[in-house]
Amino acid sequence: MSRDASTVGVGLLFNPVVPAVLDACPADLDHLAVIPEALWVDDGPGSPRRFAEITQTALSIAPLLDRLPVVAHGISLSIGSAMPLDDEHLHQMAAWCDQHAVPWYSEHLGFFAVADAASRVGRRHTGLGLPLACDRETLDLLVPRIRRIRRITGRPFLLENGVNYTPIVDQEMSEPALLNRLATHAGSEVLLDLHNLYVESVNHGLDLDDYVGELDLGLVREIHVAGGMRLAGMYTDSHSGLVPDAVRQLLAAVAPRCANLAAVTFEFHESSVLAVGLAPLAEEIDRLRAVLRAAGVRVTEAIRVAC
Ligand SMILES: [Fe+2]
């Protein structure tokens, strides 16, 4: 995340092998994106001590939290579920963001949870992140929720475009149109995941030019890039390995058009180390910096980080 409003920072999404990656190959990092829910165990609504810190993860991330600015990337909100928003979860998120001076909080446009009274935590995972229909009903559902999220967390709220293996056809509006309208009516911004768009183009023929042409790119505060793999005939957003050339090219084309872009974050799954090794994952940061600079984007002078 850039500390200078006119420049763009490059960072990593934390996972358990990030310290080992930085130990093997120190990298120029501007920020650390963190999934706060990976740092605690949730005992469910109404529990006397609902959120318990996972000590081992807290110890491994602490040196990085001390040195780098942090952005929060949530995974547990399920903003589109039929059940009410989980206010206790949002207050816990707000407290964590306050503790680490987090400038914004992002989540995913979609849903993955359904109510289940028999479950200890009151809900059940659908097994796969599912898309929301891009229509008036979804707009009406999400607008008050986003306002509530922004009020409780007290900071900008970014919605990330989904990767959909079960697309909904014949929708009232496109996804970029929905994101634009949510911004207009509820004040949300956008985390644009370019690998998710690439997955959609490979599997479902999404026209990337149409998508970024329709989205108000002034809403984009953060960009995600990642790698993927083929599985059972589909190209998946598995976060495995390095960023494909096509996604780097997309970054070069889109980033200069995002006037309020502050951060580009590389996401990789910890299992990628087995496929590509430690150093290439750290070196991806330098490659992304080079792509942005070559595209005319002013990149932040970063902190050399080793573990
Ligand atoms: Fe992402």
Q: Is residue 122 part of a domain?
A: yes
240-264 per-position pLDDT tens digit: 999 999 999 999 999 999 999 999 9
Q: Is residue 1 part of a domain?
A: no
Q: Is residue 38 part of a domain?
A: yes
Q: What is the whole-number distance in angstroms between the Cα of residue 224 and the centre of ligand 1?
A: 5
Q: Is residue 232 part of a domain?
A: yes
Total of domains in the chain? 1
Q: Is residue 74 part of a domain?
A: yes
192-217 per-position pLDDT tens digit: 999 999 999 999 999 999 999 999 99
| Residue range of the domain that includes 71 | 9-305
Q: What is the whole-number distance in angstroms between the Cα of residue 190 and the centre of ligand 1?
A: 11
Q: What is the whole-number distance in angstroms between the Cα of residue 49 and the centre of ligand 1?
A: 30
Q: What is the whole-number distance in angstroms between the Cα of residue 30 and the centre of ligand 1?
A: 18
Cβ neighbors of 105 (< 8 A, separation 6 or more) are: 72, 74, 93, 97, 149, 153, 155, 156, 157, 158
Q: What is the whole-number distance in angstroms between the Cα of residue 298 and the centre of ligand 1?
A: 22
Q: Is residue 98 part of a domain?
A: yes
115-168 per-position pLDDT tens digit: 888 887 788 888 888 999 999 999 999 999 999 999 999 999 999 998 998 889
Q: What is the whole-number distance in angstroms between the Cα of residue 267 and the centre of ligand 1?
A: 7
Q: What is the whole-number distance in angstroms between the Cα of residue 99 and the centre of ligand 1?
A: 24
Q: What is the whole-number distance in angstroms between the Cα of residue 223 and the centre of ligand 1?
A: 8
Q: What is the pTM of this model?
A: 0.95
Q: Is residue 3 part of a domain?
A: no
Q: What is the whole-number distance in angstroms between the Cα of residue 269 and the centre of ligand 1?
A: 11
Q: What is the whole-number distance in angstroms between the Cα of residue 193 and the centre of ligand 1?
A: 5
Q: What is the whole-number distance in angstroms between the Cα of residue 241 and the centre of ligand 1?
A: 14
Q: Which residue has the tokens 């960009």?
A: 223
270-290 per-position pLDDT tens digit: 999 999 999 999 999 999 999
**Cα 83 from chain centre:** 23
Q: Is residue 174 part of a domain?
A: yes
CATH number of domain containing 272: 3.20.20.150
